A and B are shown apart, each in its own frame.
Chain A
Amino acid sequence: MSDIAKIIAYRKRQDWLFSGLGLLCMAIGIATLIALLATLAYEGLPHLTWRFLTSNSSSIPERAGILTAIVGTLYVIAVTFVVAVPLGVAAAIYLEEYAGKNWLTNLIEINISNLAGVPSIIYGLTALSLFGVVFHLHRTVLVGGMTLALLVLPIIIVATREALRAIPSAIREAAYAAGATKWQTIWYHLLPYSLGGIATGTIIAMSRAIGETAPLLVIGAAGYISRLPPPPISSAPPFLSFAWLNSAFTVLPMQMYNWTADANPALQSRAATTGLVLIMLTLSINAAAIALRYRVRQKLKW
Chain B
Amino acid sequence: MVCHRWGMAVLGLFLASAALLAGGCTRASSNSEEVETRQLAIDYSGIKPDLTGKIQVDGSSTVYKISQLAAEEFASVAKNVEVSVGYVGTGGGFKSFPDPAKQLDICDASRPIQQNELDQCVKNGVKFLELPIGIDAITIVVSSKNDFLRDITLAELQKLWAPGANGNGEVTKWSQVRQGWPDQAVSLFGADSASGTFEYFNEAVQHDKKKTRSDYTANPNDNILIQGVERNQFALGYIPYAYYVPRKKSLRAVKIKLKDGDEGIEPTAQTIAGGGYHPFARPLFIYVNLKSLQRPEVEAFTRFYVENAAAIAANAGYIALDDSIYSKVRERLMKRELGTAFGGMLKEDMNLTTIMDVPVMYP
Contact = CB atoms under 8 A, between A and B. Distances in A.
Direct chain A–B contact by Cβ atoms under 8 Å: yes
A226 B19 contact: no
A226 B64 contact: no
B334 interface: no
Interface in B2-18: 4-5, 8, 12, 15-16, 18
A37 B84 contact: no
Contacts of A224: 68, 71-72, 84-86
Interface in A62-99: 62-63
A125 B68 CA distance: 28
A37 B16 contact: yes
B21 to A, nearest CB: 8
B82 to A, nearest CB: 4
B132 to A, nearest CB: 21
Nearest to B79: A227
B223 A226 contact: no
A142 interface: no
B33 A34 contact: no
Interface in A282-302: 287, 290, 294
B85 A60 contact: no
Contact of A269 (B33, B82, B222): B33
B81 A226 contact: yes
Chain B residues touching A, range: 35 or more
A265 interface: yes
Nearest to B65: A59
Contact of B24 (A45, A56, A222, A223): A45
Contacts of A62: 34, 37
Majority secondary structure of chain B interface residues (helix, strand, loop or mixed): helix
Interface in A255-302: 261-266, 269, 287, 290, 294
Given A263-B247, A269-B33, A226 B23 contact: no
Contacts of A223: 58, 64, 68, 84-87
B37 A38 contact: no
B24 A226 contact: no
A269 B82 CA distance: 27
A227 B27 contact: no
Interface in A111-154: none
B35 A266 contact: yes
A227 B82 contact: yes
Contacts of A33: 15
A105 interface: no
- Range of interface residues on A (Cβ < 8 Å): 35 or more
Contacts of B84: 222-226, 248
B316 interface: yes
Interface of A is mostly: helix
A14 interface: no
A58 interface: yes
A38 B18 contact: yes
A115 to B, nearest CB: 31
Given A60-B69, A223-B64, A223-B87, A266 B34 contact: yes
Interface in A30-56: 30, 33-34, 36-43, 45-46, 56
Interface of A: 30, 33-34, 36-43, 45-46, 56, 58-63, 222-227, 247-248, 261-266, 269, 287, 290, 294
Given A36-B19, A38-B18, 20 more contacts: A34-B18, A37-B19, A38-B23, A41-B20, A42-B23, A42-B26, A43-B23, A45-B27, A46-B27, A58-B72, A59-B68, A60-B72, A224-B68, A225-B82, A225-B85, A261-B221, A264-B246, A265-B246, A287-B8, A294-B5
Interchain residue pairs A-B with the least CB separation, the first 10: A41-B23, A37-B19, A226-B75, A42-B23, A38-B22, A226-B83, A227-B82, A223-B86, A264-B246, A224-B85
17 contacts: A30-B15, A34-B15, A34-B22, A36-B19, A45-B24, A56-B72, A62-B37, A224-B84, A225-B83, A226-B74, A247-B82, A261-B223, A261-B227, A265-B33, A266-B33, A294-B4, A294-B5
Interface of B: 4-5, 8, 12, 15-16, 18-20, 22-24, 26-27, 32-35, 37, 58, 64-65, 68-69, 71-72, 74-75, 79-87, 221-224, 226-227, 243, 246-247, 315-316
